Amino acid sequence: MRSKPTQVGITGGIGSGKSMVCRIFATLGILIYDADTRAKALMTSDLILIENIKAEFGNLSYSNDGSLNREYLSKEAFGENEKLKKLNNLVHPRVQVDYEKWLTQNSESSYIVKEAALLFESGSDRSLDYIIVVSASLALRVERVLARDKHRTKDDILKIISKQLPEEEKLKKASFVIVNDETDLVIPQVLKLHERFIHGNNL
């Protein structure tokens, strides 16, 4: 008997549509672990992580009510690559611990999906069975984010993209690619993979 479900990772650059792809899997009854959302939650609930962030970035990282002082932390960490790397190195291991607990709680599932923007960058791809990369052109991704995030400029988006693993590197590491370029239909691509994962993963 299998001790763990098949673990499928989903990633893609900002604006690629990975969250939309995950919603399709969820509609099919597949459990989704959203690593980015969980990371934000753990930064205010995981005592080990909170102490580590305070030790690295100072007590001002948190407000008096225990909430994350995002403005301060953004200035401290997001302006410099080395500091951002330090923050990620604190957060990612705690997310992995949280994910392993979640996986154990859902051990009866045939397969699960882990969604993460920095799947490769964090090294969490190494513990997964398959990786799906959601792909779209740079121009289309920028257009989508500008339409979605009214507070961001094109320069903001390009800066975020520059900090992520290049698209071509992601594609090289992918087990499967879902093309979300508004010419290929996404749902049939998801259904095809769903059938493969459900029926014994004879890949």
What is the DSSP code string of the chain?
Answer: --SS-EEEEEE--TTS-HHHHHHHHHHTT--EEEHHHHHHHHTTT-HHHHHHHHHHH-GGGB-TTS-B-HHHHIIIIIT-HHHHHHHHHHHHHHHHHHHHHHHHHTTTSSEEEEE-TTTTTTTGGGG-SEEEEEE--HHHHHHHHHHH-TT--HHHHHHHHHHSPPHHHHHHH-SEEEE-SSSS-HHHHHHHHHHHHHTTT--
pLDDT at 164: 85
Considering the domain architecture, whether residues 144 and 87 belong to the same structural domain is answered as no
- Judge if pTM exceeds 0.85: yes
**pLDDT for res 109:** 93
Give CA–CA dist 136/182, Å, rounded: 9
pLDDT tens across the length of the chain (203 residues): 456 899 999 999 999 999 999 999 999 999 999 999 999 999 999 999 999 999 999 999 999 999 999 889 888 876 667 888 899 999 999 999 999 999 999 999 999 999 999 999 889 899 999 999 999 999 999 999 999 988 888 998 898 888 888 999 999 999 999 999 988 899 999 999 999 999 864 44
Q: Are residues 18 and 51 in the same domain?
A: no
Instruction: Give the pLDDT of residue 39.
Output: 95
Q: Is 203 part of any domain?
A: no
Predicted local confidence at residue 1, as pLDDT: 44
User: Quick one: 54 and 88 in the same domain?
Assistant: yes
Q: How many domains does the chain have?
A: 2
Domain boundary at 47, 71, 105, which? 105
User: What's the confidence (pLDDT) of residue 203?
Assistant: 47
- Residue 122: give the domain boundaries: 1-31+111-198
Same domain flag for 4 and 48: no
Are residues 46 and 26 part of one domain?
no
Same domain, 101 and 115: no
Q: Domain ends where: 75, 105, 135?
A: 105
State the pLDDT at residue 105: 95
Query: What pLDDT is recorded for position 83?
Result: 86
